[in-house]
Structures are given as C-alpha cells and as structure tokens.
Homo-oligomer: A and B are copies of this chain.
Amino acid sequence: MDVKTLCLGLLSLGDACGYDLKKTFESSFKHFFPAGYGSIYPALADLANAGLVECTKVPQAGKPDRKVYRITDSGRRVFLDALNHTEPQHKLRSEFLATIYFADLLDTERLGVLLDDRLQKLRDTVAQIEHIEQEWGPETPAGARFVAGFGAEMAKAAAEYVETNRHLLTNASNGERISEIKAAAGG
C-alpha cells in the first residue's frame, strides 16, 4: 500500500483536495504513515489519470483554485481490492536508535540531549493523539480508534523504556574510550 492507495482510501470517506488530505495525514496518520505534498500531489494526478478519481476546480477569491477530488466507482473497487489483497508492511526507520547504537562515541551531554528530545517527542505524540481522540464522537469508526490507541500505547511504552534503561548507556569507562577514538580520528 502506497500513498496513492491511501489517498484513494481517504477519498472513499469524502471529497477532498490535496491540502485537505495533507491535513488528515498530519492529524490522524502522522504517527504511522507520514506523507508530504511531494507524494500527495503526484498521487492525486496519477489517480485522476487512471480514472479512479474525478477532479473539479473550485475557484476562490484570492486563493488558488481548490482542486476537489471525488472517488469513482472504479476507484472504490480498486481500493477495496488493495485492502483485501495486499500484504501490509510495517517498518520503523529510526535514526535515533541508529545514533544510540553508537552511544560509545557520544559524550554524556550529547547523549542526554538526544534522550531528552526523544522523550519530549514521545510525550508530544501522546498529547496530540489524545487531543484528536477528544474531538471524536460516537460515530468515529473502530479502526480509527484502534490505530490511535496503538500509537499512544507505543509512545508510552517507548518513553518508559528510555527512562528505565537510559542509565545503561552512561558508565564510567566511557570518557576514556571516546578520547582514544577521537584521537585515532585525528580530529
């Protein structure tokens, strides 16, 4: 499932322009499927080309025309098919963990900042998810609730792990090793 398919899925819930979709990605999908304009606009163009969505230009005073997309019957069929016959991936790409892997090469201060920043972002994620959850009514579909809950729980678990285990990364023998390696680097 690529951004194109996800856009199609969102359009199955209601008409929208690229800007609207981007806002949905920011509010509901941010923590598990980030997407920027650079993928959304080409996706919409491709979908329209393939006849899976139709586009209507809506002029506005002062602002650029809204290009409102509506899913077609063919589009619905293609989306349902993707949903039912695609093996879904799930992958993390963490430069944070990659950096921590080399914790030996970081001085204590830098390490502290990295961990604190990450904790802050995890807390922000939880707050952001709980904020959108508060605005939901009883009609909000179960899937949306499930994925939001998942995001919040994962962020809490990650924060707890970092807090509980950060002491493992700072032991007395580090200062020495860093000096040696930096010397070898001829810095």
Enumerate chain A interface residues (CB-CB to B < 8 A). Answer: 1, 6, 9, 12, 28-29, 31-34, 73, 76-77, 80, 83-84, 86, 88-106, 110, 114, 118, 121, 141-147, 149-151, 153-154, 157-158, 161-162, 165, 168-169, 171, 181-182, 184-187
- Complex Cα gap A104–B80 (Å): 11
Contact B77 A88 (CB under 8 A): no
Grouping DSSP codes into helix (H, G, I), strand (E, B) and loop, the A interface class, with mixed when no group exceeds half, is helix
Complex contacts, A151 vs chain B, CB 8 Å: 97
Contact A99 B83 (CB under 8 A): yes
Contact B182 A100 (CB under 8 A): no
Contact B169 A146 (CB under 8 A): yes
Contact A158 B154 (CB under 8 A): yes
Complex contacts, A165 vs chain B, CB 8 Å: 146, 149-150
- Complex Cα gap A165–B143 (Å): 11
